[in-house]
């Protein structure tokens, strides 16, 4: 009879849309080798040619571009400039001047929300000239000076000059005035598209064939409706971490950076798709191959069975261990090329999780700490973020698909 195997101290494998308090209990879990009969995987077929890769990535890009992400800025009403605001008030003041009621200067100032000096100036102008002259800024720039600035902006030699650099050449103009003239002439400050450097025959991209194979497998999984791609990785959660800034009234003792009493560092194993986080588990120590086996078996059992799946991961020692090669879960693995983290979409998602983790609420018990960590993987919050992550991931795939070294 085989002796049962156990994981390190950890939580249960949880999904973002459901977790119970007992799921957060840290204890050793029994690892049983399971056969995942209901789940199918798709093999890493022959790598796609570059024309087909470009076509499929283009279609995926067009589809995702129609979905707004949470960073899409809403159109705001343009606020009128100060000159227009002053002229609007002057027009309102003139209406009271021409009305049948004999309003005092103080009363008109109250009704229009203006200064009494402004009301007096408008009344005086109407008495002398009989009409209202529009307000203009003092010290207006001459047209000939604007023409000289325009020639400087249009000069091809100054194509890469920033606004501060142009101001050094024309100190009479403010940065705001220079920016206005640049925009009026139809220019926008745009990031240049970088072209790949000439390949050095003595130095090539490491593992180009493996990168090409991984890109082809992922694109197939994203493009076909009967397939799905998932991503897995681990990351650290040092419990003493806190943010650099906090609110303070300037009284008493402020909260100190890295002052949390816990000195433990948890390790999280996380699986995500292009839609959001699918499963996660927290360990109190470094993970090993048996821990990873337990997580993958439990996570895949929670995935839908209507699609063939593959799971992209790096070639960590606990991912490629002999123990995992002897299990049924190994057939779902798609190993990424060493050092090419851009091909694993979960790397983008970890940055926001780490930022939210540092700003989590102050807790006093381990249970509260684990509950705060579990809330970081909330489906509602991260589903909006993943639209942007997916767009960025497609751009990364396209960059790697266009590398000349693969041809």
pLDDT in tens, 112-124: 888 899 999 889 8
For the full predicted model, state whether its pTM sits above 0.85: no
DSSP classification of residue 282:
E
- Where is average pLDDT lowest: 9-18, 118-127, 241-250, 357-366? 241-250
- For the residues 234-243, what does the mean pLDDT come to? 83
Does position 233 have pLDDT exceeding 90, yes or no? Answer: yes
Collect all residues with Cβ–Cβ distance below 8 Å to 291 and sequence separation of at least 6: 7, 8, 10, 269, 283, 318
Q: Looking at residues 191-215, what average pLDDT do you find?
A: 71
In this model, does residue 37 exceed pLDDT 60? yes
Q: What is residue 250's predicted lDDT score, i.e. its pLDDT?
A: 61
Per-position b or e across 41-58, b if 16+ CB within 10 A of its CB: bbeeeebbebeebeebbe
- pLDDT band at 344, cuts 50/70/90? very high
CA distance 139 to 201: 61
What average pLDDT does range 70-81 have in this prediction? 62
Query: Taking the mean position of all CA atoms in its chain, how far away is CA 81?
Result: 33
pLDDT at 74 over 60: no
How far apart are alpha carbons 160 and 191 in whole angstroms? 11
Share of the chain above pLDDT 70, in %: 86
What's the average model confidence in pLDDT over 40-60? 81
Label residue 269 by pLDDT band (50, 70, 90): very high
Q: For position 69, what pLDDT does the model report?
A: 57
Query: How many angstroms separate the Cα of 52 from the Cα of each of 55, 61, 64, 207?
Result: 5, 14, 19, 21
Q: Give the chain's mean pLDDT.
A: 83
Q: Is the pLDDT of residue 293 over 60?
A: yes
| CA-wise closest residue to 228 among 309, 296, 336 | 309
Query: What pLDDT does residue 375 have?
Result: 86
Residue 253: predicted pLDDT? 59
Q: Which residue shows structure tokens 């940065």? A: 175
Q: Which has more confidence, 380 or 32? A: 32
User: What is the pLDDT, as a whole number, of residue 136?
Assistant: 76
Cα distance between residue 122 and residue 114, in whole Å:
11
| SS3 (DSSP) at 144 | helix
Q: Which helix (H) or strand (E) holds 265?
A: strand 265-272
pLDDT more than 90, % of the chain: 20
Does the pLDDT value for residue 51 go beyond 80? Answer: yes
Q: Output the CA–CA distances (angstroms, integers) from residue 128 to 108, 136, 148, in the order listed.
A: 19, 19, 39
pLDDT tens-digit map of 391-403: 999 988 888 887 6
Mean pLDDT of 12-25: 84
């Amino acid at each position: 009879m085989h002796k049962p195997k156990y994981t390190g101290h950890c939580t249960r494998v949880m999904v973002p849309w459901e977790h119970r308090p007992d799921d957060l209990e840290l204890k050793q879990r029994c690892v049983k080798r399971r056969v995942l009969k209901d789940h199918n995987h798709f093999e890493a077929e022959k790598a796609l040619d570059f024309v087909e890769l470009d076509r499929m990535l283009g279609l995926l890009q067009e589809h995702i571009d129609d979905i707004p992400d949470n960073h899409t800025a809403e159109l705001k009403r343009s606020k009128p400039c100060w000159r227009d605001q002053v002229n609007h008030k002057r027009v309102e003041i003139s209406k009271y001047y021409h009305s049948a009621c004999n309003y005092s200067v103080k009363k008109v100032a109250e009704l229009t929300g203006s200064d009494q000096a402004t009301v007096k100036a408008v009344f005086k102008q109407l008495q002398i000239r009989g009409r209202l002259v529009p307000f203009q800024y003092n010290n207006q720039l001459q047209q000939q000076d604007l023409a000289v600035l325009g020639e400087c902006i249009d000069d091809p030699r100054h194509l890469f000059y920033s606004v501060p650099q142009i101001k050094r050449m024309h100190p009479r103009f403010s940065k705001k005035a220079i920016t206005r003239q640049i925009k009026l002439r139809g220019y926008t400050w745009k990031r240049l598209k970088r072209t790949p450097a000439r390949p050095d025959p003595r130095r090539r991209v490491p593992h180009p064939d493996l990168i090409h194979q991984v890109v082809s497998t992922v694109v197939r999984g994203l493009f076909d409706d009967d397939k799905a791609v998932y991503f897995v990785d681990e990351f650290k959660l040092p419990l003493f971490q806190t943010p650099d800034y906090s609110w303070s009234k300037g009284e008493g003792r402020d909260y100190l950076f890295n002052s949390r009493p816990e000195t433990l560092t948890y390790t999280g194993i996380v699986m995500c798709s292009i839609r959001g986080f699918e499963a996660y588990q927290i360990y109190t120590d470094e993970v090993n191959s048996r821990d990873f086996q337990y997580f993958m078996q439990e996570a895949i059992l929670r995935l839908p069975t209507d699609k063939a799946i593959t799971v992209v991961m790096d070639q960590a020692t606990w991912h490629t261990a002999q123990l995992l090669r002897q299990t049924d879960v190994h057939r779902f693995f798609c190993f990424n090329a060493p050092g090419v983290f851009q091909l694993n979409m979960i790397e983008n998602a970890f940055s926001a999780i780490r930022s939210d983790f540092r700003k989590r609420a102050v807790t006093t018990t381990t249970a509260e700490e684990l509950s705060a960590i579990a809330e970081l993987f909330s489906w509602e919050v991260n589903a909006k973020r993943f639209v942007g992550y997916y767009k960025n991931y497609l751009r990364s795939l396209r960059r790697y698909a266009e590398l000349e070294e693969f041809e």
